[in-house]
Structure 1
Amino acid sequence: MEKNSVRIAMAQVMPDADVGAVIASAAKRDADLIVFPEMFSNGYSRFDPADEASRTAWIDASIALDSEYLTRFQKAARSEGIAVVATFLETGETRPFNSAVLIDRSGEIVLRQRKRHICHFDIPEEVCAAGDHSEVVSLLTAAGAVNVGIMICMDREFPDVASDLVRLGAEIILVPNSSPLVDDPEVGDVRVAGVRAMAFQAVVGIAVANYPAPKDDGRSFAVSPLGRVLSMAGELPEIAVADFDLDMIRATQEKEWFRREQ
């Protein structure tokens, strides 16, 4: 890996995977950061809408920021010296949130992002509340600081989230995901096409981490700020990696400044 590159791993695994082992494996491959799929705390599970007890149990399984669940990711990040995007159903005052946190390589939570465009038309997100803003943080990596933001699954289908991240100076966007990316029976691979277009329009690198088959269809992938696919996983469990050239990202953002003008 070139010194001016950030290596991002996409953990295409199910929630029964050994989190510590997955993170350690990414670190051994010299990854600076690893992203887990959406709502990993429960595997984006569903509840029975006709059974109130099922609904209540699902909500009661939500997690606070100081939970042992997140502590596992923090300990592994600190132990392996790698940043981690962990995802979970977050406890809220009245309704839970579909959330992600960015943990830096010292084990500190430096960003919390709540999904802004929830799937309110379907289970399980019909019971979730939506986040109301996005943030970008400067994450220290072996290649230096890089400006990172998060969007969660369907957030990538709406222009306001990308626009906010661009306005805040994002260089790389991390996307925890749970949906078919290539084999959707209705839209085929349009989600991949949409991410490629968004990367080109926003002039950012993007990494998408998805669940493997048979839950979803795998195909976790990364895209350059010119919309080129840098890597794409297969259908089965694996840890995919992609190298983002920071010099290239910054030079392209400077050259294509008009795409990022708000």
Structure 2
Amino acid sequence: MAMAQVMNDADVDAIAASAAAEGADVIVFPEMFSNGYSRFDPEDRTARQAWIDAAVPIDGAFVKGVREVARRHGLAIVATFLERGSPKPFNSAVLIDSRGDVVLHQRKRHICFFDIPEEACAAGETSSVARLRTAAGEVTIGIMICMDREFPDVAADLVGEGVEIILVPNSCPLVDDPAVGDVRVAGVRALAFQSVLGVAVANYPAPKDDGRSFAVDPLGKVLSMGGPQPDLVITDFDLDRIRALQKEDWFRRVR
């Protein structure tokens, strides 16, 4: 698993090539990568509308470009984007398999309606999983977008569908938040332990956020964590171990 801790002006093709060279099966980009989770002046109606107008369709050039990259390098990619919608756009992600096919489409359910820019977005309503083919065999993947990881209804829906690994595109401080410190890391560790699954979080580097993209195993152990700088953070998930623990601790996954 590769977590692309980069800004949205990075060369996606080069990043995918590096991830493939490291043996990654999947690469995850930070939240709303199509516009770099950009903001607008809430008092400027023109700026707000321009931000909304920059939303892209799921079958548009942005997603098609990432599909081509996935196909070219033979790895799966979680691409994130401001998705065109009516009357409001969505904060969305797609899982693209190594053949370049979209196998999962997820809209952020718990949007930050209290802040710019997401107060201009609509919320998604459901969560689902995909069976992704990898070099290690098939794995059941789900997606939570940033704040979705803080709400039990999303986890319950994914666990109910048999999720084994959750991928989290993110845009917020993970370790150095001035108000809550590293509580988000603690929350992800608890999520992994409580639901017996692996989690990988991809975040923007400093100074936009604080980097620290990380992955945890189903016992809540941090497997890897990046620093604040741009990076490609790599980790390995032991699928046999995840499945053995899910069988052993089956009661944690009863909803």
TM score, norm. by length of structure 1: 0.97
Which one of 29, 33, 43 corresponds to residue 40 of structure 1? 33
Structure 1: gaps (5+ residues): 1-7
**Aligned counterpart, 1:182:** 175
Give per-residue Cα distances to partners, 1:29-52, cap 9 Å, x unaligned.
Answer: 000000000000011010011110
**Aligned counterpart, 1:23:** 16
Q: CA deviation at 1:71?
A: 1.2
Do residues 97 (structure 1) and 90 (structure 2) align?
yes
Do residues 260 (structure 1) and 216 (structure 2) align?
no
CA RMSD of aligned residues (A): 0.4
**Aligned counterpart, 1:4:** none
Q: Distance in 2 between matches of 1:63 and 1:22?
A: 22
**Aligned counterpart, 1:163:** 156
Q: Distance in 2 between matches of 1:184 and 1:157?
A: 16
Structure 2: gaps (5+ residues): none
Which one of 46, 51, 56 corresponds to residue 53 of structure 1? 46
Q: How is 1:174-213 mapped onto 2 (pairs within 5 angstroms)? A: 174-213=167-206
Q: Distance in 1 between matches of 2:89 and 2:112?
A: 13
**Aligned counterpart, 1:80:** 73
**Aligned counterpart, 2:243:** 250
Whether contact under 8 Å (1:12, 1:209) holds in the other structure is: yes
**Aligned counterpart, 2:119:** 126
Q: Which amino acid aligns with 1:247?
A: D
**Aligned counterpart, 1:3:** none
Q: Distance in 2 between matches of 1:126 and 1:28?
A: 39
TM score, norm. by length of structure 2: 0.99
Q: CA deviation at 1:93?
A: 1.8
Paired residues, number = 255
Whether contact under 8 Å (1:9, 1:239) holds in the other structure is: yes
Task: Give 3-state SS (helix, strand or coil) of 1:101's partner.
Answer: strand
Which one of 232, 237, 243 corresponds to residue 225 of structure 2? 232
Identity of aligned residues (%): 69
Q: Distance in 1 between matches of 2:184 and 2:74?
A: 32
Structure 1 runs of 4+ with >6 Å offset: none
Do residues 10 (structure 1) and 3 (structure 2) align?
yes
Give per-residue Cα distances to partners, 1:36-71, cap 9 Å, x unaligned.
Answer: 000000110100111100000000000001111111
Q: Distance in 2 between matches of 1:258 and 1:23?
A: 38
Q: Distance in 2 between matches of 1:205 and 1:34?
A: 15
Whether contact under 8 Å (1:20, 1:72) holds in the other structure is: no
Q: CA deviation at 1:72?
A: 1.3
Q: CA deviation at 1:242?
A: 0.7
Which one of 216, 222, 237 corresponds to residue 209 of structure 2? 216
**Aligned counterpart, 1:5:** none
Give per-residue Cα distances to partners, 1:201-255, cap 9 Å, x unaligned.
Answer: 0000000000000000000000000000000000000000110000000000000
Q: Distance in 1 between matches of 2:217 and 2:249?
A: 14
Q: Distance in 2 between matches of 1:66 and 1:257?
A: 39
Q: Distance in 2 between matches of 1:72 and 1:21?
A: 13
